[in-house]
Amino acid sequence: MQKGSSLILVALMSSLLSVGLYRWFEPAAKSEWSDMEGEARYTSFVDKLLNTRANANLRHVAPTNFVQAAAVSTPAVVNIRARIEEDGGFWGGGSVSGSSGSGVIMSPDGFIITNHHVIDGAKEIKVTLSDKREYRAELIGLDAATDIALLKIQENTLPFLLFGDSDSLQVGEWVLAVGAPFNLHNTVTAGIVSAKGRNINILRGGGSIESFIQTDAAVNPGSSGGALVNTAGELIGINTAIVTESGNYEGYSFAVPSNLVQKIVRDLKDYGEVQRAFLGVGIENLDNETARRVGLPDAQGVHITRINSDGAAGIAGLRVGDVVVKVQKVRVRGTAELMETVGRFRPGDQIEIQYWRNGRLFDTIIRLKDKNNAAVPGRYQGNEMESELGFALRDLRSDERRRFPGPGAMVQSVRRGSIVAATNMQPGYLIMKINRRRVSNIEEAMALLQTAGNEIYLEGRYEHEAENYAYRFNKPG
């Protein structure tokens, strides 16, 4: 009887202990699972007891919602078709071909970003909006070094995308690719950022800049020039390339970062061409052997292999053998990132460089130069005589240089009621001579206009006219 009483007492104490332990863990369990629908259930009490710490941060996470980002971005992505005429050469028999791609509306007044390779060599460019309206587009400028081109259509109330900050983009972050693959308008695909700062050696030329955002969002032929957007619907890249053996998407796609795109399109709008800044150095990625030799703990950085003593970096005191580790206080891991960062600046801009030399870190300020070692992109913007004479000038774009018989300064606008307007001059007139002296660009044209006497005599050509036109007027006063 005494043995039986002992067993009952042990069983009772075990039950009380179990109930006590359950109630001790119950409040934490309810708190952790309070945002789940229905009653929380555990796999077992032992699992809960053994994994209290492991489950401490467990929360219900809703799936990422792409609906809003797609709704914002699809109306601002367009289909682009380009008609390309190829010269048959001496024997004639030229052919006509075409290409198609996508584009992104960047402002309500009709400026559209696309890829250089989509419209390269085009004689005619047509843009189809998401609502099926069609427009003929004007080529504003293009840049083969980044594969970016800027178009313009005549509209003022268009949907457009806001630029996001591509620097803040994180590997693993969700993104959407929006374009018109195979002429299928408003196609949206999703993926994650696979890598940043990718160089795939697809762009040609010594000044090319490749620091692509790599994603696994599906991009196919016809998507080139389309938008890469984040989940807020902000433009963080222009889809440009795929790496493929079949010709179609195989899991890798690449986009030009939006922070670089912004600089390129600003230059194309302001100058008709990119004002590219240079350090004046030869560079290579840092390898482990070189890193050990110079005393760096890792192989992240850019090794200077050649330097122009008259270039921006040479004047600032950098030498062959130095390793650039930071630009604008941001760590630089390789040549692609360095070239992208410098590519966002214009000649004359100053940037902060941190570099490693002889076991020490140094900081310096470098004033960037252009390819001709000039520190400013140009003294004139083209509107210096607008208030006095009534017209604004710009340099010829690269496509226009092929169509006109010679260099000059293009009349961009004519103000109504001005001295120039009284001559019946129209925008699109190429000034080739001022007072019998040849001019090649707005620099030379503005210098002559400002220093000329009272009488001005202009000679030039309109694009579709076979004969030259001349205009004569007097400066005020």
The catalytic residue positions are 117, 147, 224
DSSP string for residues in 237-268: EEEEEE--SSSS--S-EEEEEHHHHHHHHHHH
Query: Could you give the CA distance from residue 130 to residue 115 in angstroms, rounded to a whole number?
Result: 19
Residue 273's CB is within 10 A of a number of other CB atoms, namely: 16
Q: Which residues, at least 6 apart from 301, have a Cβ–Cβ distance to it below 8 Å?
A: 286, 291, 323, 324, 325, 332, 333, 334, 356
What lies within 8 Å, CB to CB, of 221 at 6+ separation is 181, 182, 247, 248
DSSP assignment of 152-204:
E-S-SS---PPB--GGG--TT-EEEEEE-GGG-TTEEEEEEEEEEEE--S-S-
Q: Give the span between the Cα atoms of 117 and 209, in whole angstroms.
A: 15
Nearest to 237 by CA among 221, 218, 257, 219: 257
Structure tokens at 332: 């630089």
> Which positions ≥6 away from 256 have C-beta within 8 Å?
146, 147, 148, 212, 213, 237, 238, 240
Could you tell me the two tokens for 15? 């039950």
User: Within 13 Å and on the Cβ side, how many CA atoms surround 374?
Assistant: 7
Question: How far is Cα 447 from Cα 459, in angstroms, rounded to an integer?
Answer: 16
For residue 132, how many other CB atoms are within 10 A of its CB?
A: 8
What type of residue sits at position 305?
T
DSSP string, 331-345: E--SHHHHHHHHHTS
